[in-house]
Amino acid sequence: MSGQGAPVSTQSASAPPHRAPAPWLARLHRLEDWVLTVLVVGLVVLAGAQILLRNVFEAGLSWADPLLRAMVLWSAMLGALVATREQQHIGLDFLARFSHGLLRRGAHACASLFATALCGAMAWYSVGLVQLDLGGGGKGAAGLPAWALESIMPLGFGLMALRFLLRAFTPAATDPAAESAA
């Protein structure tokens, strides 16, 4: 009997059980992760190639710098979207850290609603920017229309606003009331 026994659970007794997202949502999360991964890897490879070409061969790719700027924008927005999904973003939760129960729940809801309003405003004004460039017909990196490259801003901020809004009405992961209800 030595060394054998019942399997040990790695989940804490006080932690709420983790529910898997709906299949369509899991696919969306996987798509976000893959697009972000491809963008960051492409960004590193293209920037590295550009550095190598400039330093070794005293030449470069004329289209690479504008494309790198667009890739930085897209990877930053997708990274922020993933951070929001994983609740790894910068938070305004000072009160929630030092409160309990209903006060913590209220602080969590207020912070999430404030973030919803900020992201919603950013999405609104980003739509204006995209419409301005759509009407102007300007070209961006690699001959793509500028509005297409900027379209990640209203999309990303809009999705972040939606995630914050939904989070405002769900119990916080660290809320003891949520843990006891599970």
Q: What is the pLDDT along the chain (182 residues), one digit of tens a residue?
A: 444 544 444 444 444 445 677 899 899 899 999 999 999 999 999 999 999 999 999 999 988 999 999 999 999 999 999 999 998 887 766 666 777 888 888 888 888 999 999 999 999 999 999 999 998 888 888 788 999 999 999 999 999 999 999 999 987 665 444 444 44
In a domain, 103, yes or no: yes
The model carries a pTM of 0.77
**3-state class (DSSP) for residue 145:** strand
In a domain, 3, yes or no: no
In a domain, 6, yes or no: no
Element (H, E) at 16: none
In a domain, 13, yes or no: no
In a domain, 14, yes or no: no
Query: In whole angstroms, what is the distance from residue 32 CA to residue 39 CA?
Result: 11
Angstrom CA distances, 33 to 48, 74, 82, 139, 163, stand at 22, 13, 7, 28, 16
Q: Dump the DSSP string for 37-69.
A: HHHHHHHHHHHHHHHHHHHHHS---TTHHHHHH
In a domain, 77, yes or no: yes
In a domain, 118, yes or no: yes
Number of domains in the chain: 1
Q: What pLDDT is recorded for position 51? A: 95
Q: What is the CA radius of gyration of the chain?
A: 22
In a domain, 32, yes or no: yes
Domain extent for 142: 23-177
